[in-house]
């Protein structure tokens, strides 16, 4: 009896051990390791694989495919453009004769199609997407993951943020939850969902890719973004391919944290870098987009530049924090408040300004008409100013520089410059006739090391205005040591030459 009891006890102990082992294995997921991920990502003890599956299952039905169609009318070219090898048929008289006899050729219509993605943000059929996906469309068709098709209308769009809201008729649609993009951290896992190549795959179900947040607050620059403000983007290595634009970037909680907007590659295909607009940018304006209201951004009216080590040393700063005012626009809020070129902006509305993008984001999010305080340094002394933020004007023109070679002056610290005449100003698209134009920068010279380039317009040296070549020559004769040069692009510090100019 005692022997049977002992055997029963041993068997019971082994069984309990097996059960405990299975529970522990399931709890810590030994078969599907999740590496360094912790509870901050709210995966509730499941594996990374199961988390991505759950995100796809929950958010996928809210992701839609958007196909667009735009009809463009193009006038037929004039008859003389079809002449053979020049000759009399290019003459205006003969062109007029053919047009009178045959009549004007009719306009031809060309239909352009596009494809993108979007995400349903409520059950009434409102869809958040990119402005560039639907902005110029005459016809918009939305396909849900269950293959249902709907005609959609644009409720509101904003080119600057590259966001738009469209609507389909109906109710009780699956909708995704908007998260908090400010809570993102570099290295966090995210999932990109969209419909790349949907027109070729003939499959309405969205594509799911995963990756990490590679970087935050990225800027694509105006060369790529044009009129759009791609200055505060989420960068991810989750694959984003053509057609993904407008689809959601989702965290492992199943919350939308970004709207996929662009890929950066040499071929137009996926090469490891994708970008998304932070969802908090969308949350600030989505209600106005639904109502069809124009999105108004705050405006200070300055052109600013970041600090390099030389500029920081010149202003006696231990850190490269703040931005330098390179230009104050006429009749702008900045000019009315007393901001001057050469001021160093350190804090804005009690927020620290670490770089140019930080200032642009802060100003853009402030409502027009609100008064804020600026903390800055002028002539190496701290001052404060109060400014009333204005509304950003439409179609702000960008200043451009050009290169020319017209009777350059003698070289100074590696620079050769020329006077700007009205003809040259028009020819090279220089907006003002003041200043002098840089036509040559000697390699490895002080000017080259400072960052000046051919085509820069020099406006000031050590805060003394340059109105002509004569003024420029007089100033450079009198100064020595390190000098602060203001150009149309911003400020530069030119070190004192270690050898005489030849």
427 confidence band (pLDDT: 50, 70, 90): low
Residue in 487, 443, 486, 485 with CA at minimum distance from that of residue 496: 485
Does the CA dihedral 128-131-134-137 come out positive or negative?
positive
- For 8, other C-beta atoms within 10 Å of its C-beta total 10
DSSP lists the bridge partners of residue 127 as 120, 166
To which residue do tokens 């028009």 refer?
Answer: 426
pLDDT value at 374 more than 50: yes
Comparing 83-92, 105-114, 191-200, 314-323, which segment has the lowest mean pLDDT? 83-92
- Looking at residue 102, its pLDDT comes to 56
- Give the count of beta carbons closer than 10 Å to the beta carbon of residue 85: 6
Task: Dig out the tokens for 288 from the structure.
Answer: 């106005």
The DSSP-derived string for 41-63 is G--TT--HHHHHHHHHHHHGGGE
At 63, the pLDDT band (50, 70, 90 cuts) reads very high
Q: Could you report the per-residue pLDDT of 443-500, keeping only the tens digit for each?
A: 778 888 888 887 788 889 988 888 877 788 888 878 888 889 898 888 898 887 644 3
pLDDT at 60: 94
Mind listing the pLDDT tens digit for each residue in 284-329? 999 999 999 999 889 998 888 888 777 888 778 888 888 888 888 8
> Comparing 71-85, 139-153, 163-177, 293-307, which segment has the lowest mean pLDDT?
71-85
Q: Which residues are catalytic?
A: 132, 162, 245
- Write down the residue that tokens 């896992």 correspond to: 189
The pLDDT score that the predictor gives to residue 134 is: 93
pLDDT of residue 204: 78
**pLDDT of res. 25:** 44
- Rounded to two decimals, the pTM is 0.65
Specify the higher pLDDT residue, 198 or 56: 56
CA-CA distance, 390 to 333, in Å (whole number)?
Answer: 6
Q: List pLDDT tens digits, range 111-148.
A: 778 889 999 999 999 999 999 999 888 999 999 999 89
Res. 85: pLDDT tops 80 = no
Question: The tokens of 456 are what?
Answer: 């820069």
Average pLDDT, rounded, for the chain: 78
Residue 86 confidence (pLDDT): 44
Percent of the chain with pLDDT over 70: 72
Where residue 97 falls among pLDDT bands split at 50, 70, 90?
low
pLDDT at residue 82 greater than cutoff 70: no
Q: Which domains does the chain have, with CATH numbers?
A: 2-59 (no CATH), 61-295 (2.40.10.120), 298-391 (2.30.42.10), 415-494 (2.30.42.10)
Q: Can you give the pLDDT at residue 400?
A: 30
Query: When comparing pLDDT for 185 and 442, which is higher?
Result: 185
Q: What is the pLDDT of residue 388?
A: 94
Q: Is 50 exceeded by the pLDDT of residue 40? A: no
From CA 218, how far away is CA 213, in angstroms rounded? 11
User: What percent of the chain is predicted at pLDDT more than 90?
Assistant: 33
pLDDT at 19 over 50: yes
Give the confidence band of 408 by pLDDT, cuts at 50, 70, 90: very low
């Amino acid at each position: 009896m005692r022997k049977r009891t002992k055997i029963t006890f041993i068997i019971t102990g082994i069984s309990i051990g097996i059960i405990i082992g299975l529970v522990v294995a399931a709890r810590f997921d030994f078969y599907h390791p999740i590496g360094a991920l912790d509870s901050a990502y709210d995966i509730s003890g499941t594996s990374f694989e199961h988390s991505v599956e759950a995100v796809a299952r929950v958010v996928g039905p809210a992701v839609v495919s958007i196909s667009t169609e735009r009809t463009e009318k193009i006038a037929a070219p004039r008859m003389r453009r079809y002449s053979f090898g020049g000759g009399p048929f290019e003459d205006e008289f003969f062109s007029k004769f053919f047009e009178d006899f045959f009549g004007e050729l009719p306009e031809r219509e060309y239909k352009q199609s596009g494809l993108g993605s979007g995400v349903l943000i409520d059950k009434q059929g409102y869809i958040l997407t990119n402005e560039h996906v639907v902005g110029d469309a005459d016809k918009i068709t939305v396909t849900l993951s269950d293959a249902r098709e709907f005609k959609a209308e644009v409720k509101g769009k904003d080119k600057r943020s590259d966001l738009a809201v469209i609507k389909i008729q109906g109710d009780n649609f699956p909708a995704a939850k908007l998260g908090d993009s400010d809570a993102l951290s570099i290295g966090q896992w995210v999932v990109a969902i969209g419909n790349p190549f949907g027109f070729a795959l003939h499959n309405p179900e969205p594509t799911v890719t995963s990756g990490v947040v590679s970087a935050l607050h990225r800027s694509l620059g105006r060369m790529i973004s044009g009129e759009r403000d791609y200055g505060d983007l989420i960068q991810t290595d989750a694959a984003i391919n053509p057609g993904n634009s407008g689809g959601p970037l989702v965290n492992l909680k199943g919350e939308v944290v970004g709207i996929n907007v662009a890929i950066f590659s040499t071929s137009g295909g996926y090469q490891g870098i994708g970008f998304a607009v932070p969802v908090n940018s969308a949350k600030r304006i989505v209600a106005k987009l639904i109502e069809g209201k124009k999105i108004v951004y705050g405006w200070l009216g300055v052109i600013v530049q970041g600090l390099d080590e030389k500029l920081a040393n010149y202003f006696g700063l231990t850190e490269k924090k703040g931005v330098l005012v390179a230009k104050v626009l006429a009749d702008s809020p900045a000019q009315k408040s007393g901001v001057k070129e050469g001021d160093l902006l350190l804090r804005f509305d009690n927020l620290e300004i670490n770089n140019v993008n930080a200032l642009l984001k802060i100003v853009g999010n402030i409502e027009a008409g609100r008064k804020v305080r600026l903390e800055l340094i002028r002539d190496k002394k701290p001052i404060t100013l109060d400014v009333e933020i204005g509304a950003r004007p439409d179609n702000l023109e960008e200043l451009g520089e050009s290169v020319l070679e017209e009777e350059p002056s003698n070289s100074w610290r590696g620079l050769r410059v020329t006077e700007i005449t009205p003809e040259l100003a028009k020819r090279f698209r220089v907006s003002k006739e003041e200043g002098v134009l840089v036509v040559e920068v000697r390699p490895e010279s002080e000017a080259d090391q400072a960052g000046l380039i051919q085509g820069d317009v020099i406006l000031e040296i050590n805060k003394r205005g340059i109105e002509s070549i004569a003024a420029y020559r007089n100033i450079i004769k009198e100064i020595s040591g390190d000098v602060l040069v203001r150009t149309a692009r911003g400020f530069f510090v030119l070190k004192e030459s270690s050898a005489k100019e030849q």
